[in-house]
């Protein structure tokens, strides 16, 4: 395999800036829509967007952004030409023109001075590199959940957002649901008494889970399709032979690229647990987790998991691979169950669900929609409902549960310094060993 050559961020910016300036020198015919006529949003209020990752979720997110009148998508990026073509076609159909620019390299998109915001919906192992690069280029970022594929990468995103003064919305969209926010208000205002347990139901028996479990060994290598830049897709992960079951969609079941169901839907369910417990800026201190995996398979993530995460105040988050998908807040005076997805609520008493939150109680507000909340936050320069720090803390719980399962023992976690206590072996698993030339 030919090794990819690359440049540092500073060198890349220097190389591309001259081309960008030259392009700005050409005369331009400005349509009336650009001036805010014809009932369109004027440029002063319009957010120019580029979208990185044109797989299914990337296209879905982009279509949601396209429906917002104050967003103009001008660029798409993907290492798969087929996905890139589908993304470009969606944009061109939405606007009735051929102006959308396509990129294979996300750095060329992020460096464009006319782009304000970036949507990232790559496989998980690319979240941190693309998001940090975009933040360092001065962009605000909507990044799919989980925020990153390791604890250290997640912290790198938080740091980049802070030092660049940028907004990050993690794609934990369940947090924007009215029912979920209302249920968390009930819990935090003591309607179920003192909260002592959060039960996480995270089933792993969906059809795609069953397919993944059936793959008991690594399949024989296949030729790399012409439409895919496979080495770029692998990025910082080890150079390994191509197989179609390694990449699109199925990557989530290999620990090099994702964390299995623990980081997939777990990043939704555990996230609401953090919100209801008022733990968005911290995490548990003791981690116990068991699960099964097949190291001979292409898919080496954990199944049939059980975990107990204990917080400093004694609260326990107890999870296992069973349905229905969602979480149950248990208190001394009752319980509330939130279904993921959909947000249907159940409670120990119907009166709980008709309870009113008064003005002097904890109020979590309501979101106009997860994507809309991001755009509003960009314009107001206020934190969204799932900021980088919130997304990072949720993803961290998912990752340290996976690490506990990998090591097969109880771990002690310090959420302040984000390290395992007196455990060098576990701490080495907090960050991947990145293949040259990639880093965060």
344-373 per-position pLDDT tens digit: 999 999 999 999 999 999 999 999 999 999
pLDDT in tens, 268-281: 999 999 999 999 99
Q: Residue 163 class from Cβ within 10 Å (0-12 exposed, 13-18 middle, 19+ buried)?
A: exposed
Comparing 9-22+29-174 with 177-360+388-430, is the CATH topology the same?
Answer: no
Q: How many residues does the chain have?
A: 440
Q: Of the candidates 79, 207, 151, 98, which has an alpha carbon nearest to the alpha carbon of residue 432? A: 151
Where are any strands of DSSP class E within 27-176?
Answer: 47-52, 71-77, 101-103, 117-120, 140-143, 168-170
- Report the DSSP pairing between strands 195-201 and 326-331: antiparallel
Residue 9 has pLDDT above 60, yes or no: no
- Respond yes or no on whether the N-terminal peptide bond of residue 437 is cis (omega within 30° of 0): yes
What is the band of 33 on the pLDDT scale with cuts at 50, 70, 90? very low
Residue 267 has pLDDT above 60, yes or no: yes
Please, what is the average pLDDT of the chain?
A: 92
Residue 28 has pLDDT above 60, yes or no: no
pLDDT (mean) for 62-68? 98
CATH entry 3.30.360.10 includes domain 177-360+388-430: yes
Cα gap 258→242, rounded to integer Å: 17
pLDDT in tens, 307-318: 999 999 999 999
The CATH superfamily holding the domain 9-22+29-174 is: NAD(P)-binding Rossmann-like Domain (3.40.50.720)
C-alpha of 321 from chain center? 21
Q: What's the confidence (pLDDT) of residue 56?
A: 97
For 51, phi then psi, to 5°, come to -120, 120
Domain ranges of the chain: 9-22+29-174, 177-360+388-430
For the entire predicted model, the pTM comes to 0.91
pLDDT (mean) for 242-255? 98
Helix 266-277 with 178-188: angle, nearest 10 deg? 40
Whether residue 109 contacts residue 52, with contact meaning beta carbons closer than 8 Å, is answered with yes
Instruction: Count Cβ atoms below 10 Å from residue 201 Cβ, excluding itself.
Output: 19
């Amino acid at each position: 395999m030919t090794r990819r050559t690359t440049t540092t961020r500073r060198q890349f910016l220097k190389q591309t800036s001259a081309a960008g300036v030259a392009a700005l020198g050409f005369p331009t015919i400005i349509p009336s829509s650009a001036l805010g006529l014809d009932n369109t949003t004027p440029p002063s209020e319009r957010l120019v967007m580029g979208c990185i990752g044109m797989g299914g979720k990337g296209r879905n997110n982009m279509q949601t952004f396209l429906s917002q009148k104050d967003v103009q998508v001008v660029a798409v990026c993907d290492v798969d030409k087929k996905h890139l073509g589908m993304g470009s076609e969606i944009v061109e159909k939405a606007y009735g023109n051929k102006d959308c620019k396509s990129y294979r390299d996300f750095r060329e998109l992020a460096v464009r001075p006319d782009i304000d915001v970036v949507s990232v919906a790559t496989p998980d192992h690319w979240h941190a590199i693309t998001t940090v690069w975009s933040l360092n280029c001065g962009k605000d970022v909507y990044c799919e959940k989980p925020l990153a594929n390791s604890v250290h990468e997640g912290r790198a995103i938080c740091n980049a957002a802070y030092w660049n003064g940028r907004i990050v919305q993690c794609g934990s969209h369940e947090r924007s649901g009215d029912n979920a926010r209302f249920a968390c208000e009930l819990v935090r205002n003591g309607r179920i008494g003192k909260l002592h347990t959060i039960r996480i139901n995270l089933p792993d028996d969906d059809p795609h889970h069953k397919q993944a479990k059936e793959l008991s060994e690594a399949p024989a290598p296949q030729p790399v399709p012409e439409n895919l830049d496979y080495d770029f897709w692998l990025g910082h992960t080890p150079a390994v032979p191509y197989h179609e079951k390694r990449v699109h969609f199925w990557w989530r079941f290999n620990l090099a690229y994702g964390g299995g169901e623990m980081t997939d839907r777990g990043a939704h369910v555990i996230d609401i647990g953090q919100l209801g417990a008022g733990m968005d800026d911290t995490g548990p201190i003791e981690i116990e987790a068991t699960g099964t995996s097949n190291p001979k398979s292409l898919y080496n993530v954990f199944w049939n998991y059980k975990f107990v995460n204990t917080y400093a105040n004694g609260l326990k988050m107890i999870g296992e691979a069973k349905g229905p998908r969602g979480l149950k807040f248990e208190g001394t005076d009752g319980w509330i169950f939130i279904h993921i997805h959909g947000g249907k609520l159940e409670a120990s008493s119907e009166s709980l669900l008709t309870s009113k939150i008064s003005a002097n109680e904890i109020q979590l507000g309501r979101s106009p929609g997860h994507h809309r909340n991001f755009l509003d936050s960009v314009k107001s320069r206020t934190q969204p409902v799932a900021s980088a720090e919130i997304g990072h803390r949720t993803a961290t719980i998912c990752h340290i549960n996976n690490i506990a399962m990998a090591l097969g023992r109880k771990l002690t976690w310090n959420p302040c310094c984000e390290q395992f206590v007196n455990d060098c072996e576990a701490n080495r698993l907090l960050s991947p060993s990145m293949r040259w030339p990639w880093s965060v």
